[in-house]
Structure 1
Amino acid sequence: MKQIILLCFVTQLLWAQSTPVQSTVQQVTVFLNGAQITRSAKISLPIGKSELVFKGISPQINKQSIQVKSEGNFTILSVAHQLGNLLDKTQQDEITKIETQKRQIEDKLNLEKTHLLLFKREEDMLLKNQVVGGQQSGMKVADLKESIDYQRQRMQEVLLKKLELEKNIQKLENDTKNLNQQLTEINAKKDVQMSEIIVSVLAKEAVSNTPVSIAYFVKNAGWTPTYDFRVEKLNQPINISYKANVFQYSGEDWKDVKLTLSTANPYKSGTAPVLQKWVFGQPNDYSDYYENINANPYESPSEVQGKVISKTDKQPVPGVLVQLKNTNLGTSTDMNGNYKLSIPPNLALHQKVLVFSAVGMKSAEATIISTHINITLNEDVQKLEEVVVTGYAKVASDKITAPPPYLQGRIAGVSISRESEQRTVPLDITENNAPTSQSFEILIPYTVPSDGKVYTAEIKQENIPAVFEHFVVPKIDTDVFLYAHIIDWEKYKFLEGEASLFVENTFLGKSNLNLSNRDTLSLSFGRDKNVIVNRTKLKSYQKKQFIGSSKIEQFSYEIVARNTKNESINLLIEDQFPTSANKEVSIDDKEAPEAEINTETGKIKWRINLAPNKEHKVFLKYTIKSPKSGLVVDTSY
Structure 2
Amino acid sequence: MKTILILATALLSSSFAFSGDTLTSRIDKATVFLSGAQVFRKTNSIPIKKGVNEIVIQDVSPYVNQQQLQATAIGNFLILDVQLQTQYVPPANYEGVVLPQKIQSEMNRLEDSVLYLTFELERINEKLNNLASEKNMIMQSQLVKSGGTSDTLPEFKEIVSFYREKLDDINELIVAWKKIKHQTGVRDLKHKARLQELKTYAQQTKQPNEPAKTRYHVVVTTYSDYSTSGKIEVNYFINNAGWIPAYDLRANSTNEPIDITYKARVFQNTGEDWDNVKLTLSTYDRTYSAVKPTAGVWRLDYTVNKPVAVNSSISNQVYYSQNMLSPVQAQSAKKRMLEDESYEDVSYTFVPGQSLSTINQNFSNVEFDVKLPYSIKADGSQKLMVIMNEKVEADFFHYMLPRMNKYGFLQAKIGDWENLSLLPGKANIYFQQTIVGSTMIDPAAMSDTMELTLGKDQGLVATRKKISEEERKVGLSKRIVKEYTFEIEIRNNSRTSVDLTLEDLIPITKNEDIKIKMVEGNGAYLNDTNGMLTWKLKMNAGGKEIIRFTYSIEHEKDKPVS
1:20: which partner in 2?
Answer: 22
Partner SS for 2:381: coil
State how 1:265-276 maps to structure 2 within 5 Å. 265-270=285-290
2:430: which partner in 1?
Answer: 502
2:553: which partner in 1?
Answer: 624
Structure 1 Cα separation of the partners of residues 260 and 390 of structure 2: 5
Q: Which stretches in structure 1 are left out of the alignment for 5+ residues?
A: 1-15, 115-173, 295-434
Equivalent of residue 368 in structure 2, options 440, 445, 469? 440
State how 1:106-505 maps to structure 2 within 5 Å. 181=207, 184=209, 187-188=210-211, 190-191=212-213, 193-208=214-229, 210-270=230-290, 436-505=364-433
Whichever residue aligns with residue 398 of structure 2, its letter is H
Structure 2 Cα separation of the partners of residues 505 and 606 of structure 1: 31
Equivalent of residue 548 in structure 1, options 476, 479, 485? 476
Partner SS for 2:260: strand
Deviates more, 1:458-467 or 1:586-595: 586-595
Structure 2 Cα separation of the partners of residues 632 and 485 of structure 1: 43
Contact 1:21–1:52 (8 Å) recurs in 2:
yes
Two-structure CA RMSD over aligned residues (Å): 3.9
Contact 2:431–2:455 (8 Å) recurs in 1:
no
Partner SS for 2:398: strand
Gap change, CA 1:584 and 1:225, over 3 Å in 2:
closer
Structure 1 Cα separation of the partners of residues 450 and 294 of structure 2: 31
Contact 2:74–2:233 (8 Å) recurs in 1:
no
- Tell me whether 1:525 sits opposite 2:546 in the alignment: no
Structure 1 Cα separation of the partners of residues 69 and 440 of structure 2: 36
Contact 1:17–1:50 (8 Å) recurs in 2:
no
Query: How far off is 1:272 after superposition?
Result: 7.7
Contact 1:543–1:555 (8 Å) recurs in 2:
no
Structure 2 Cα separation of the partners of residues 272 and 476 of structure 1: 53
Equivalent of residue 51 in structure 2, options 48, 51, 68? 48
Query: How far off is 1:69 after superposition?
Result: 1.0
2:341: which partner in 1?
Answer: none
Contact 2:402–2:504 (8 Å) recurs in 1:
yes
Gap change, CA 1:37 and 1:583, over 3 Å in 2:
closer
Deviates more, 1:261-270 or 1:580-589: 580-589
Partner SS for 2:364: coil
Structure 1 Cα separation of the partners of residues 224 and 279 of structure 2: 33
Structure 2 Cα separation of the partners of residues 247 and 528 of structure 1: 39
Contact 2:72–2:79 (8 Å) recurs in 1:
no
Gap change, CA 1:589 and 1:465, over 3 Å in 2:
closer
Equivalent of residue 77 in structure 1, options 77, 80, 85? 80
Contact 1:38–1:215 (8 Å) recurs in 2:
yes
Structure 1 Cα separation of the partners of residues 503 and 224 of structure 2: 80
Question: Which of structures 1 and 2 has the bigger CA Rg?
Answer: 2
Partner SS for 1:490: helix
2:493: which partner in 1?
Answer: 564
Whichever residue aligns with residue 229 of structure 1, its letter is L
Query: How far off is 1:481 after superposition?
Result: 3.2
Structure 2 Cα separation of the partners of residues 564 and 77 of structure 1: 78
Contact 1:56–1:86 (8 Å) recurs in 2:
no
2:143: which partner in 1?
Answer: none
Query: How far off is 1:194 after superposition?
Result: 3.8
Contact 2:47–2:228 (8 Å) recurs in 1:
yes
Query: How far off is 1:270 after superposition?
Result: 4.3
Structure 1 Cα separation of the partners of residues 253 and 238 of structure 2: 45
Q: Deviations over 1:205-250 (max 9, x none)?
A: 1123x12211111121111111111222122222222111011110
Partner SS for 1:494: coil
Partner SS for 2:372: coil
Gap change, CA 1:269 and 1:630, over 3 Å in 2:
farther
TM-score, normalised relative to structure 1: 0.55
Structure 1 Cα separation of the partners of residues 276 and 238 of structure 2: 18
Structure 2 Cα separation of the partners of residues 546 and 59 of structure 1: 83
Query: How far off is 1:39 after superposition?
Result: 0.8
Query: How far off is 1:570 after superposition?
Result: 2.0
Structure 1 Cα separation of the partners of residues 53 and 420 of structure 2: 51
Gap change, CA 1:289 and 1:491, over 3 Å in 2:
closer
TM-score, normalised relative to structure 2: 0.62
Structure 1 Cα separation of the partners of residues 454 and 294 of structure 2: 41
Partner SS for 1:28: strand
Partner SS for 1:542: strand
Q: How many residues of Structure 1 are paired with residues of Structure 2 in the alignment?
A: 399
Gap change, CA 1:199 and 1:528, over 3 Å in 2:
same
Gap change, CA 1:200 and 1:582, over 3 Å in 2:
closer
Structure 2 Cα separation of the partners of residues 274 and 548 of structure 1: 72
Gap change, CA 1:579 and 1:274, over 3 Å in 2:
farther
Structure 2 Cα separation of the partners of residues 211 and 552 of structure 1: 90
1:512: which partner in 2?
Answer: 440
Query: How far off is 1:31 after superposition?
Result: 0.9
1:592: which partner in 2?
Answer: 521
2:113: which partner in 1?
Answer: none
Structure 2 Cα separation of the partners of residues 527 and 284 of structure 1: 54
Partner SS for 1:529: strand
Whichever residue aligns with residue 21 of structure 2, its letter is T
Partner SS for 2:375: strand
Q: Deviations over 1:456-507 (max 9, x none)?
A: 0112222221112222333344453332111011111111112212222222
Structure 2 Cα separation of the partners of residues 610 and 597 of structure 1: 21
Partner SS for 1:509: strand
- Tell me whether 1:60 sits opposite 2:67 in the alignment: no
Query: How far off is 1:632 after superposition?
Result: 5.2
Partner SS for 1:547: coil
Query: How far off is 1:527 after superposition?
Result: 3.5
Structure 2 Cα separation of the partners of residues 587 and 30 of structure 1: 58
1:381: which partner in 2?
Answer: none
Whichever residue aligns with residue 236 of structure 1, its letter is E
Structure 1 Cα separation of the partners of residues 506 and 358 of structure 2: 48
Contact 1:17–1:49 (8 Å) recurs in 2:
no
Q: Deviations over 1:167-198 (max 9, x none)?
A: xxxxxxx99976x54x75xx35x41x342111
Partner SS for 2:20: strand
Equivalent of residue 35 in structure 2, options 26, 33, 36? 33
